[in-house]
Amino acid sequence: MFGVDEAGRGPVLGSMFAAAVVIEDVDDLPSGIGDSKTLSPERREAFAEQFREDDTIEIGLAEIPTNRIDDPETDMNTLTVEAHAEAILQVAEDDAQGIVDACDTSESRFARRVTEEIAYPVEITAEHGADETHAIVGAASIVAKVERDAHVAELAEKHGEVGSGYPSDPKTRAFLRDYVESHGELPDCARASWQTSKDALSAREQSALDQF
């Protein structure tokens, strides 16, 4: 059985990550697993480390970087489908069964699209909120979130305070605004197609015009 979830669909900074977690018997998963957003960072990291050290658990990871996210020929739903499939392909075998967290208004459509990306037969069920109701998907949610958090930490090491990377975060907006003001362009970790990035560029252009 495998479970799949992703982290980082909405941020203006950095990559999106999808994780697939495979275990023969889901009852062997540790207790207390749930939606990664309800767990503290320390608890998520402890779970992720436990998964990695368990020989009965396999983990597949897929990263969707900003250049793929900004590609005008695609969209986030398609990229999420591709990310789920890429993670599954790393660990699932023929005729495997799994549950994925649906990122489409239609659960059946999302399941079908992910299945179509797999080159061999698999049985996939998609559910909204699957990370809350299925421990195997909750485990995948934890792994994906830990990878995303580590990614943001690397961005902070490179650039300084970047916040959470989400458009709603004042620290993230301030970082983008200050970076654009200093460099005249967006950092390579920014999703240029996001409105928050466009706003940062527009603010600099307006500031330059105001100086005349």
Q: Is residue 5 a known part of a binding site?
A: yes
Give the separation between CA 79 and CA 200, rounded to whole angstroms: 25
Q: Is residue 6 a known part of a binding site?
A: yes
Pairing relationship of beta strands 2-7 and 16-23 according to DSSP bridges = antiparallel
DSSP classification of residue 190: B
Q: Is residue 70 a known part of a binding site?
A: no
**Residue ranges in 92-186 assigned as alpha helix (H):** 107-116, 130-133, 135-159, 170-183
Q: What are phi and psi of 70, to 5 degrees?
A: -85, -5
Cβ neighbors of 207 (< 8 A, separation 6 or more) are 181
Give the Å distances, CA to CA, from 151 to 89, 94, 171: 22, 32, 17
Q: Which residues are annotated as a binding site for a divalent metal cation?
A: 5-6, 101
The binding site consists of 5-6, 101
